[in-house]
């Protein structure tokens, strides 16, 4: 394990783990939402279903021109949100890819327990079975513009409807697998949105190994989401779009951010696909870390035995680091 320590980080001792069930995937204005107010439409989002009865976990489903079906989101509030009157930082937490992956992924896995007592709002949106947190080059089944949905619509909607710090130092982004790539991508492309970025087994290099991750993004999206369309174009890629999304080509965009990386090193009997996936992740994260080193950009990185899986103890460590970096509630 190599570790580059960012400032203002707290370390949590934790045990346990989670298997690859989660795998395949500015300004200083404060929001004015009150504890008693119900969320409303806005920013291109029309609420078609919701459940706000749980004191912590709020559920919404939207109609939006950005997506050809109605995507959902879970918004997990701090324990004292309804009574404290405080404003909170926000973590956007992205799920991985796969035919059973969706916005409920982390709730199924235990996110309510992981965040109990933590002064942070956690927003967990749909990202498609293989949406790759992108607006695809082509789709044969209607709009699948996940990047537009998340960045142009959902983020301002959250800030308008909940008591958040709607600013750089008020937001973090993290994810697992495909969601880890989405976190790295959004943190670079939308620099002023997120002060902390975390990739748990998330790819950081799209072109490595003859573009293995780009090819996988194209193949998986064509099969699972786009009815033969692709994220980056086929047989020829949209090279400018690949470069815009590729973390290793956007190194300066990680300066002055907290960066947290996790990858598996193998060494355990695992399914072939899981090992191949994590090998590409590991190689890409090492390339990314080398470039960060060369640029003098600090980060915290962990290499752990095992393959493509979500490691709960490291997420808990990450969560304390996120809270330490962002504005205090």
> Comparing 151-160, 226-235, 259-268, 315-324, which segment has the lowest mean pLDDT?
259-268
Q: What mean pLDDT do residues 140-147 have?
A: 97
**Residues of the domain holding 317:** 45-325
Q: What mean pLDDT do residues 134-154 have?
A: 98
Q: What mean pLDDT do residues 192-200 have?
A: 98
The confidence score (pLDDT) of residue 140 equals 97
Task: Assess contact for 130 and 159: CB atoms under 8 A.
Answer: no
The answer to whether residue 27 is domain-embedded is no
Whether 318 shows a pLDDT value over 80: the answer reads yes
The answer to whether residue 274 is domain-embedded is yes
Q: Which residue, among 263, 268, 274, has the nearest Cα to 302 in the 3D structure?
A: 263
The answer to whether residue 299 is domain-embedded is yes
Whether 21 shows a pLDDT value over 60: the answer reads no
The confidence score (pLDDT) of residue 267 equals 61
Please indicate whether residue 226 or residue 3 has the higher confidence score (pLDDT): 226
Q: What is the CA radius of gyration of the chain?
A: 18
The answer to whether residue 297 is domain-embedded is yes
The answer to whether residue 256 is domain-embedded is yes
Q: What mean pLDDT do residues 206-233 have?
A: 96
Total domains in the fold of the chain: 1
Q: Which residue, among 316, 315, 120, 103, has the nearest Cα to 201 in the 3D structure?
A: 315
Contacts of 96 (CB under 8 A, 6+ apart): 22, 23, 24, 25, 105, 175, 176, 177, 178, 179, 180, 310
The confidence score (pLDDT) of residue 3 equals 37
Triad 237, 241, 247: Cα angle to 5°: 110
Task: Assess contact for 168 and 194: CB atoms under 8 A.
Answer: yes
Write phi, then psi, for 282 (nearest 5 degrees). Answer: -60, -50
Tens of pLDDT, residue by residue over 162-176, are 999 999 999 999 999
The confidence score (pLDDT) of residue 40 equals 95
Q: pLDDT-based confidence at 11, cuts 50/70/90?
A: very low
- CATH number, domain of 185, equals 3.40.50.1820
Q: pLDDT-based confidence at 307, cuts 50/70/90?
A: confident
The confidence score (pLDDT) of residue 168 equals 98
Q: What mean pLDDT do residues 227-252 have?
A: 97
The confidence score (pLDDT) of residue 270 equals 45
Alpha helix stretches (DSSP H) within the chain? 81-84, 105-109, 111-114, 146-147, 155-161, 178-189, 208-224, 239-245, 272-295, 312-325
Whether 62 shows a pLDDT value over 70: the answer reads yes
The overall average pLDDT reported for the chain is: 89
Q: Which residue, among 329, 314, 302, has the nearest Cα to 11 in the 3D structure?
A: 314
The answer to whether residue 249 is domain-embedded is yes
Specify the 3-state DSSP secondary structure of 20: helix
Task: Assess contact for 260 and 300: CB atoms under 8 A.
Answer: yes
Q: Taking the model in full, what pTM does it have?
A: 0.89
Token pair recorded at residue 293 = 């080193």
The confidence score (pLDDT) of residue 266 equals 78
Q: pLDDT-based confidence at 258, cuts 50/70/90?
A: very high
The answer to whether residue 3 is domain-embedded is no
Triad 127, 132, 133: Cα angle to 5°: 60
Alpha helix stretches (DSSP H) within 190-264? 208-224, 239-245
The answer to whether residue 226 is domain-embedded is yes
The confidence score (pLDDT) of residue 274 equals 52
Specify the 3-state DSSP secondary structure of 81: helix
């Amino acid at each position: 394990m190599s570790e580059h320590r960012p400032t203002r980080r707290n370390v949590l001792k934790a045990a346990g783990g989670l298997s690859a069930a989660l795998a395949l995937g500015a300004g200083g204005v404060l929001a004015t939402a009150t504890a008693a107010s119900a969320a409303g439409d806005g920013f291109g989002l029309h609420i078609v279903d919701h459940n706000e009865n749980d004191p912590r976990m709020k559920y919404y489903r939207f109609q939006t021109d950005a997506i050809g079906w109605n995507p959902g989101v879970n918004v997990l509030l701090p324990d004292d949100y309804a009574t404290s009157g405080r404003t909170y930082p926000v973590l956007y937490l992205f799920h991985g890819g796969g035919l059973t992956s969706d916005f409920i992924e982390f709730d199924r896995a235990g996110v309510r327990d992981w965040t109990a007592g933590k002064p942070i709002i956690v927003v967990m949106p749909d990202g498609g079975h293989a949406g790759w947190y992108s607006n695809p080059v082509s789709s044969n089944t209607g709009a699948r513009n996940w990047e537009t949905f998340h960045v142009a619509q959902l983020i301002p909607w959250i800030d308008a409807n909940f008591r958040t710090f709607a600013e750089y130092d008020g937001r973090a982004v993290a994810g697992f697998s495909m969601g880890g790539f989405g976190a790295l991508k959004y943190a670079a492309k939308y620099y002023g949105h997120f002060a902390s970025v975390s990739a748990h087994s998330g790819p950081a290099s799209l072109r490595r190994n003859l573009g293995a991750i780009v090819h996988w993004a194209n193949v998986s999206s064509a099969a699972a989401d786009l009815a033969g369309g692709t994220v980056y174009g086929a047989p020829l890629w949209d090279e400018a779009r690949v470069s815009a999304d590729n973390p290793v080509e956007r190194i300066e965009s990680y300066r002055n951010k907290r960066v947290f990386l996790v990858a598996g090193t193998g060494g355990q009997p695992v399914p072939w696909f899981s090992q191949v996936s994590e090998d590409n992740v590991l190689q890409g994260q090492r390339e990314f870390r080398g470039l960060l080193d060369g640029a003098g950009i600090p980060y915290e990185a962990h290499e752990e035995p095992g393959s493509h899986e979500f490691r709960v103890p490291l997420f808990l460590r990450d969560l304390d680091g996120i809270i330490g970096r962002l504005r205090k509630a």
